[in-house]
Amino acid sequence: AQKVTQAQTEISVVEKEDVTLDCVYETRDTTYYLFWYKQPPSGELVFLIRRNSFDEQNEISGRYSWNFQKSTSSFNFTITASQVVDSAVYFCAPVGQGAQKLVFGQGTRLTINP
Amino acid sequence: EADIYQTPRYLVIGTGKKITLECSQTMGHDKMYWYQQDPGMELHLIHYSYGVNSTEKGDLSSESTVSRIRTEHFPLTLESARPSHTSQYLCASSELRQRNIQYFGAGTRLSVL
């Protein structure tokens, strides 16, 4: 079974600041996947990234970057030069290779102030 | 772009009423899911399906039921709504060929008075 901890329940920053959202997970699977989703105020979940456990290369997509540290079971998400539209709740979710069920933590509510 | 639709978006209903929340996807995904989310809280899986005529209960016990008669359709039914059912319900679908990424609908916000 998987478990995820997002210790930061709320973060508030001023626009253009960089911000990092932490994600620590637990799993007994040797192969697994890690997801990040964004939930804006409208309520739907928007897929951001899927990472395989055997690929520890960090990833950058525009202002978004992800740092995967298998040794510390962390998969942190950084937004560079934050914008007001980044305001949302962000969820990290692990899933085992054979399973299909995402395990969500409580998420981190990010507020970007103008 | 995800093509998964949920109706209604908002529903206010009295106690004891029977309701069905609709979820449809046009992507041909074989797997579909229902999550329940209270405001500001995590999502909990309540039902899932790996294909037609396949339904399973999720990690969170729910009084709702689901059916999967067609690939694209995965409705959720509450036979007798109660205030404790007030929540947001999110539907998702996924497909092995799309790396099992779950794509979500916009959700249904249910209020039972």
**pLDDT at A87 (0 to 100):** 97
Token reading at B16 = 């004891």
Distance from CA of B55 to the nearest CA of A (A): 13
Alpha-carbon distances of B11 from A53, A106, B2, B88, rounded to whole Å: 40, 25, 23, 10
Cα gap A94→A97, rounded to integer Å: 10
Q: In the predicted model, what is the mean pLDDT of residues A90-106?
A: 83
Residues of A in contact with B104 (CB under 8 A): 37, 44-47
- Is residue B9 within 8 Å of B108, Cβ to Cβ? yes
Tally A–B CB contacts below 8 A: 52
Compare A111 and A30 and report the one with higher pLDDT: A111
Which chain A residues are Cβ-neighbours of B102 within 8 angstroms? Answer: 35, 47, 102
Name the residue facing A44 among B48, B50, B104 (closest C-beta): B104
Q: Does B59 touch chain A (CB under 8 A)?
A: yes
Cα(B33)–Cα(B57) distance, integer angstroms: 10
pLDDT band at A5 (very low <50, low <70, confident <90, very high): very high
**Mean model confidence pLDDT for chain A:** 91
Distances (CA, A) of B2 to A21, A26, A56, B93, B102: 25, 29, 27, 9, 9
- Give the percent of chain B with pLDDT over 90: 81
Q: Which residue of A has its CA nearest to B103?
A: A47
Q: What is the pLDDT of residues B34-85, one digit of tens each?
A: 999 998 788 999 999 999 999 999 888 889 999 999 999 999 999 999 999 9
Q: Nearest-CA residue of chain B relative to A34?
A: B101
If pLDDT is split at 50, 70 and 90, which confidence band does A98 have?
A: low
- Using an 8 Å CB-CB cutoff, list chain A residues near B40: 89, 109
pLDDT at residue A37, rounded to an integer: 95
Q: Dihedral angle at the C-alpha atoms of A60, A23, A102, A1, nearest 10 degrees? A: 130
What is the chain B residue with the closest CA to A96?
B100
**B87, pLDDT greater than 90:** yes
Q: Is A44 close to B40, i.e. CB distance below 8 A?
A: no
Instruction: Give the pLDDT of residue A60.
Output: 85
